[in-house]
Every structure is written in structure tokens, then in C-alpha cells.
Amino acid sequence: MSIKQRFIFSLVLSLPMLVQMIAMPFGWMLPGGAWTMFALTTAIMLVSARPFIHSAWAAFKNHHANMDTLVAIGTATAYLYSVYALLHHQGVFFESAAFVITFILLGQVLEEKMRTNASSAVEKLMDLQVKEADVIRDGQVVKVPLEQIQVGDTLQVKPGQKIAVDGIITTGSSSVDESMVTGESMPITKKVGDQVIGSTINKTGTFRYTAQKVGNDTLLAQIVEMVKKAQNSRAPIQKTADQISNIFVPIVLIIAIVTFVVWNVFLNAVPVRALLFAVSVIIIACPCALGLATPTALMVGTGRSAKSGVLIKNGEVLEAANNIQTVVFDKTGTITNGQPQVTDVVGDNHTQILQIAAALETNSEHPLAAAILHQAQTEHIATPTVQNFQAITGKGVQGEIDHQTAFVGNDKLVANYQLSQDLQQQMVQLQNQAKTVVLVGFQEKIIGLIAIQDTPKASARPTITALKKQGLKTVMLTGDNQRVAQAIAQQVGIDQVIANVLPGDKATKVQELQQQSRVAFVGDGINDAPALTIADVGIAMGSGTDIAIESGGIVLVKNDLRGVVQALELSKKTFQRIKLNLFWAFIYNALGIPIAAGLFVGWGLTLSPEIAGLAMALSSISVVSSSLLLNKTKLTPIPD
């Protein structure tokens, strides 16, 4: 029977006893009274509590004590004493045993629900691979399953298709989108002799290439393996409650035994009275509140964070976030928008420059052309008809508009046309800002420039500023070159830039940073999955790939970078609340042990098993109330 099924079973059978507890002051009792409670609790002990008892016994044989030990001893003692009391017509507290089991199982159900299956990220990575590819066999193009492709095979890739395996281009050229693997923001122009990566997307031309790496040797397969290793290498965090339990449980048992011996042997109390004191000690120490300390804080903390667009996946993330010192960001799609945008239009006639450029780029699929067309549409600029369209090899495109020559291209066009000194200076200035500059010409002369760049998100700078105010160091990792990365970093205020980083190196760089401090990594791409997994805390952007989201311990649903600050702050506050709950759960019960043991009986202060059960309920209420206060905790405001 699963944990969830055991919880439901225990909850259903506990509810009648809860109703009786509430209605008892009004004179209502369960039909059958204590015997009905005995039947309900016996079923709970046989079905829901059995795994705790088995675990406690296994721990005992290994000279170890854990949470299950506390649960098993407390509930078994409460149950067995209640059976004795039932037979001797004394007060019973079967409900204490039933409620403890129900509360502990509730915590386990919540933890299980929050925990993500690690293998799902790996499965989604594998799904990126194509199922079949066009392979040249005997001069013919044939469809071949991926697993049958061999090193040395020649493959053909058309526009829009995925590249099957790693290899080298032998004929043709194209623009390839490698952002999903390398993090490079712009598609890369590939020609004969250039390497291509499996599972990346061919954007424009058709080409053929020779397979160099297949199967487990491909870059994607290596990323999958890195994610597996990172997930398997993460040791489970030893829970604070279990650590304290190793000391707390033996002490409680010793105190209970000493209590019985002292009262029965040295103080000549009758065995029943001595047993009542001993049972009270164990009941007051029973971890009812301890079982609620973590799940209630997690429920409230994660619930509040979810309303803010921040999904925290498990308790380990909360603990790790409490000690973060460095926050590492991926660039493309995380710090930046992930799409090239027109940032500057330079020239005497702004509208004419965009009009000519958009007209010539209408049929192009290149991201730079898409940025120009988007800008023209945003400004509601109509595009004229182009005639005699043709490409200028390695430089750009040209055509005729109103019977006049018009052209758009890169800075190599300067050799063919005259560029004014003013435009020349502005082009250099824009290039120094790591922007891609497109030249626009009309009537045999260059009339203007269009600068294009993957721009930072509006929330990037205030996020970095807020993190710095908290004393956190900020780092940016990217596959882009140093100049582009440095320009973006200066705009948003990043402390350190690590550029030209390959997918496999991202996780390595994170590990290097972890040697100096505890690291949170923020990313959104497939290439970020290993780094998200291996970091102390992985924070995935909600707009990113499913793989990145699966690998991250925290997910920012709203795709707002300010969520990074909220995520870390909420994680810290929630984990601090858990520690406070655990402290009071132990202290509350520990303070009741001397009273339960009868040390203050001379002053008329005693704690019967029934009152001990009530004390447990009060400790649970205090823990729940403490957790609910998380909803009132104020977070640091971050400006737009």
C-alpha cells in the first residue's frame, strides 16, 4: 500500500474520533464509545502504522534511532496503554495514536507530491533526438532510423529539419540554430568543413554532412549522461529531526524507564501508577508536532510562493537556498529576451531606412531579418514591392525598388559603396556595444544603419541590484563571445562574466564556483540542464524548455527575473520557519517531560496520559500557527 493510500485510510478512520473530540463537551460520543475507538485505532495500527514499526525495529537492530522510532514507540505505547486502560475501565487515548500516524503520513504525502521524478528530465532530453534521418545510400536519399546511423555515413538536412548526429559539412551551407545546445543567441552560418551538432535545427539551406559521432558519443548524449551523474551524485540531506532523534529517542526511553523504576521501587508506588508516569513521559515526547513542523511550513511557504509565480519543488531546495552566496545566470533567454531586436536606426530618414530593409528581408528566415520585419510592423511601416531580387554572396541582398537599386547587408558592403565618416563612426560605436550592424543602401549609396541585439529583460537590472543588496555575488555564464557577454553584463550590473562556455563546461564552471561558495544557477535552455542539476539550487525560467524546468529545484512560472530574489527570500524564510518549528516541537515536549515524570507532584502538578495527549494536540496547534504566520511575512519590494 502506498503512502498516499495509507494516509487516506488513516484519515478516514481518524475523522470520527476527531468529531468526538470536538463534540464531547456538548455530550456527543461515538456509538460504542471506547470500543469503537479501539476498533478504528487497531485498524490504523495494523495498516498505516506497520511500516513505521518495521522501520523502527530495523533501526533498533542497527543501533540507530530515527523519526520512525519516535513514531513507533509513541503510538505503540499510546495504543497498548489504551488497550490496558480499556480493559480496566480507565480513561483511554486511542485518538492520540491515530492522530500521530495521520499527521506523520500527511507530511510524507506532501513531501512525495513535491518531489519530482529525476528520470523525467533525462527522458525529455532523449526525446529531443530525431527518430530517423535522410542518409545517402547507393546515391539515393533514404530514411534511416537513428540507431542505424554509423560513423562515416553521409546525411542530408533540409531547412527546418533537425540534425540527427554530430558531424562535418561536406557540401552546401546554411544557418543553424544551436541555441538549444550551446546557448549561442544567434544562428550560426555553417559551410563546408564546419562541425554541426546533433538535435540542433537547420534554418535556411540544404546541406550534406558526414557523421562523426553517433549514439552515446554525441554531444546531446553526453549532456544526458551529465544530468544523470549530477542527479545521482547529490547526497540526500540529513534531516534535522532525524539528527536530533538519534539523541532524543534514547534519552526519552531512559527517562521513561527510570521514571517507572523510581516510582515503583524507590517511592513504593503501585505498578499502575508508576506505569502511568512512564507512559506520560513517552506520550508527551511523541512527535506529533515534530511530524507537522516540516510539512505545514512547506505547505504554507510553497503555497505562498506559488501565488507569486515561484514553484519550490522540495525541502532540500529550501535548506540549500538558506546558504546561497553566489547566483549564476545563463545569458540567452534568462538575462536577455532570447530574440534579436532592433535597438538603433541611424540615418537621416528613419522610416525610409526601415522600409527598404523590411522590403528586402520580407522573404528571409534569418533572425536578423525577422527583427527588422518585426520593428517595421511595430511602427506600421508599409513595405514596397521589390523587383530583380538577388543575393550578394557573403555580403547581403539587393533588388530594385521604384526602379532604383536598394541593398541590405553586412559591413563588407563598405568595400562596394561609400560610407560617410559620420555613419562610419556610429557603426564602430554600435559594434563596440556588441551590436550587429546592418547597412541599408538606396540609389547606389549607403543611407543608414540598423543595429540589432539580443536585449536584456526589463527585470534583469533591478534583480541584479536586489541580489547585490543581499550581499550575493552575481555571475553570468554564456556560450556567446566575451565582447557580447561583457556588454550585456555592464547593462545589467553583473559582477563577473564567464564567456565562450560550451554545454559540458557550464556544469564544470558551476562546480569550480562551488569550491568557493554555495551556488544557485538560473537558466532556461537544454544546455542549462546539467548546471541546473549540479548547482546547490537550480532555478529554471518558466518560459524555458521542459528539460530545464524538470532539472531546476525552483521554477519561475512568470518568467520574471525578479522571481529569483523572491524565490531565494521565500526559501530562506520557509526553511527558517521549519527550523523554528522543529525547535519548538522538541522544546515544547521536552519541557513537559519533567512534569510527566512526576517531579512536581509535590506541588500538585502532574501530567496524566490524557493531559499528555492534549499537550501533544496543543503543540501541534502551535506549530501550525507558526507556519501560518509565513503568509504574513513581508518580502523585500523590487522596483520595476
Catalytic residues: 330
281: cell is: 513521559
Pairing of strands 496-498, 473-477: parallel
**Euclidean distance between CA atoms 170 and 82, whole angstroms:** 83
- What are the distances in angstroms from CA 262 to CA 226, 269, 588? 60, 9, 24
Q: Terminal CA-to-CA distance of the chain, rounded, Å?
A: 50
Phi-psi region of 512 (alpha: psi -120 to 50; beta: other; left: phi over 0): alpha
Judged by phi (left if over 0) then psi (alpha if -120 to 50, else beta), residue 248 lies in alpha
Residue 323 CB neighbour total at 10 angstroms: 12
Q: How far is CA 456 from the centre of its chain?
A: 22
Cα–Cα distance for residue pair 174/180, rounded to 1 Å? 17
Q: Indicate the burial class of 336 (C-beta count within 10 angstroms; 0-12, 13-18, 19 or more).
A: buried
Q: Phi-psi bin for 28: left (phi > 0), alpha (psi -120 to 50), beta? A: beta
The beta-carbon contacts of 524-527 under 8 Å, at least 24 apart in sequence, are 524/330, 524/333, 524/334, 524/338, 524/548, 525/179, 525/180, 525/183, 525/330, 525/332, 525/333, 526/125, 526/128, 526/180, 526/181, 526/223, 527/180, 527/181, 527/182, 527/183, 527/223, 527/479, 527/503
Q: Where are the alpha helices (DSSP H) in 561-608?
A: 562-596
DSSP percent split of the chain into helix, strand, coil, nearest 5 = 55, 20, 25
Give the 3-state secondary structure of 361-427.
Answer: CCCCCCHHHHHHHHHHHHCCCCCCCCEEEEEECCCEEEEEECCEEEEEECHHHHHCCCCCHHHHHHH
Alpha carbon 262 to its chain's center: 54
**Residue 99 grid coordinates:** 492522530
Helical spans, DSSP H, in 140-287:
179-182, 219-233, 240-261, 271-285
Q: Which residue has the cell 502506498?
A: 2
Alpha-carbon span 138 to 140, nearest angstrom: 5
Query: Which residues, including other chains, have CB under 8 Å from residue 346's CB and lie 6 or more apart?
Result: 353, 423, 426, 427, 430, 448, 449, 450, 451
What cell was used for 185?
Answer: 543567441
User: What angle in degrees, to the nearest 10, is found between the helix axes of 240-261 and 288-307?
Assistant: 160
DSSP string, 23-54: HGGGT---TTTHHHHHHHHHHHHHHTSHHHHH
